[in-house]
Amino acid sequence: MSLKKIAVIGLGDFGKALVKKLNEEGNEVTAIDKDIKTIEEIKDYCTHAVCLDSTDELALLAQGIQDMDLIYLTSSANFEALILTTKILQKHCQKEKIIVRYRNEIQKEILEKMFSIQKIFNPEEEAANNMAIFAKHIHKMIEKTYLVFGKYELIEVEVPKKYYHKTIQETKIRDEYHLNILLIKRDEEEIEAIGDTVLEEGDTIYVFGSQENIQKFIKSIDLK
């Protein structure tokens, strides 16, 4: 995995959690917020922690914002500041590197239509969708489930008993359910999922596909 230079601007609860996760993955993370107390709280969890007003164009450029591989604008509480910061980022950065958080549909429409921001997100909405999917698919063998691209899902599931000691090809998950096993986790080891990889009791598999096919697969799981 190639590591990146990433800026996170606006450090609410979500922004701070994102900084910590990106830092854990080994990226060079610059955390930016205008509140000095917030900067003090996050400074040990990132490469650089900088107290500045993101609407100050020269201050942002001094941090090398134009050289970042990704820029997350994560605080949407002050929408005027978000708009001004977005304008600065668009002026100096490639648009595909800019990812902006929105809080409501009005903000979403402005970002999409006025600024043509392609990468926008609402963490509360995404979390709610994932929780709803989890409720729909509740099952003692399913550990986590994620909504991906609207109609697709990724589930993290304990290997069903009927697949013990079978290769991925022998399970016929792809043929019967049109699903793909992306990864296998065995204890703390991550194992590449290829056709002749043998599944063992206790393995966790990451299964990807359409919501409809995921539901068919879950119904087929042997509960015994």
Q: What DSSP line would sit under 148-186, residue for residue?
A: ETTTEEEEEEEPPGGGTT-BHHHHTHHHHH--EEEEEEE
Distance CA 10, CA 18 (A): 11
**pLDDT, position 154:** 78
pLDDT, tens digit, 9 for 90 and up, residues 47-56: 999 999 999 9
Domain ranges of the chain: 5-121, 126-220
CATH number of 126-220: 3.30.70.1450
Specify the pLDDT at position 46.
96
Report pLDDT for 187.
87
pLDDT at 182: 84
pLDDT of residue 128: 53
CA 12 to chain centre: 17
Identify the segments of the chain with pLDDT beneath 70. Answer: 1-2, 76-77, 122-150, 222-224
70 three-state secondary structure: strand
pLDDT of residue 188: 81
State residue 41's pLDDT score: 94
**Given this structure, which CATH class describes domain 5-121?**
alpha beta
* For the chain, percent of residues with pLDDT exceeding 70: 83
**Tens-digit pLDDT profile for residues 77-111:** 688 888 899 999 999 999 889 999 887 778 888 88
pTM for the complete prediction?
0.58
